[in-house]
A and B are shown apart, each in its own frame.
With several copies, the nearest count.
Chain A
Amino acid sequence: MITVEFLGPIGKSPIEIEAKTLSDVAVKLKEDPQMAVWLDKCAVALNDTMVKDLGTVLKEGDRISILPPVCGG
């Protein structure tokens, strides 16, 4: 199982899913209509490191963070 958490304004509780790669996570999240509006604007972190490759391999206990558009300052 891996954990997916949704940061900032997304307002969705963390979920636990089965996934071997980030592609599997994408497939799962697209099934959720609430997430569909967010995904094209969101960046992704794996265990608090930003990731940019859909092929990234996941292991048991990994934590994915979904980061919506930011505006610090």
Chain B
Amino acid sequence: MELYQGPLEVKEIFARWLDEEAASNYGAYIPFVGTIRAEDGIEALSFDIYEPILRSWFENWQERAKARGAIVKMAHSIGDVPVHTSSYVSAVFSPKRRVALELIEEFVEDFKANAPIWKYDIKEGKRIYAADRSTPMDGAGLLA
């Protein structure tokens, strides 16, 4: 798992992950690249991450992938990421395509729902929590 201040170097990450697994005999490599869209007049998005829980979430996913003969990788930005640059790359490697196609979907969807990352719009220099696009994590409301 890789965390970076600001936008991701997507090409470098894609190429390095490819090289890391060049001799691992995986038949399918599916990266997912998330890029900041220009919309609603935003200049950038900005991210807070709670790293200890993100690490355990990711370690749990490594186990889930391993049980299916696959591996997962991910990189995410901390702080400001301007429009048309990328804040998120995740990937699955697996021997066969079916597992890779299933896992990338599950991995990305669970990431959106349960990775402890908070998103803010940057508009006119102000940092505004993206409340309407955020999802309560599994188990939310316990103390209510």
Chain B associates with chain A:
yes
Residue among B138, B139, B140 with max Cβ neighbours from chain A (10 Å): B140
Complex alpha-carbon distance, A35 and B135, angstroms: 18
Complex alpha-carbon distance, A73 and B129, angstroms: 14
Residue B26 interfacial (CB < 8 Å): no
Please tell me the number of chain B residues within 8 Å of chain A, measured between CB atoms. Answer: 38
Asked if B48 contacts A52 (CB within 8 A), the reply is no
Residues of A within 8 A of B114 (CB): 70
Asked if B50 contacts A72 (CB within 8 A), the reply is no
Asked if B48 contacts A8 (CB within 8 A), the reply is yes
Q: A7-B50, A42-B143, A65-B53 are in contact. Are A72 and B138 (CB under 8 A)?
A: no
Residues of A within 8 A of B111 (CB): 72-73
Residues of A within 8 A of B141 (CB): 39-42
Asked if A73 contacts B34 (CB within 8 A), the reply is yes
Complex alpha-carbon distance, A42 and B114, angstroms: 12
Asked if A71 contacts B130 (CB within 8 A), the reply is yes
Residues of B within 8 A of A25 (CB): 143
Asked if B116 contacts A7 (CB within 8 A), the reply is yes
Residues of B within 8 A of A72 (CB): 47, 49, 76, 88, 111-112, 115, 117, 119
Interface on B for A, CB 8 Å cutoff?
34, 47-50, 52-53, 56, 76, 87-88, 97, 108, 111-120, 129-131, 133-144
Besides A67-B137, A67-B140, 10 new A-B residue pairs in contact (Cβ under 8 A), listed by A number:
A8-B116, A39-B144, A71-B118, A71-B134, A71-B135, A72-B47, A72-B115, A72-B119, A73-B87, A73-B108
Interface on A for B, CB 8 Å cutoff?
7-9, 22, 25-26, 29-30, 39-45, 48-52, 54, 65-73
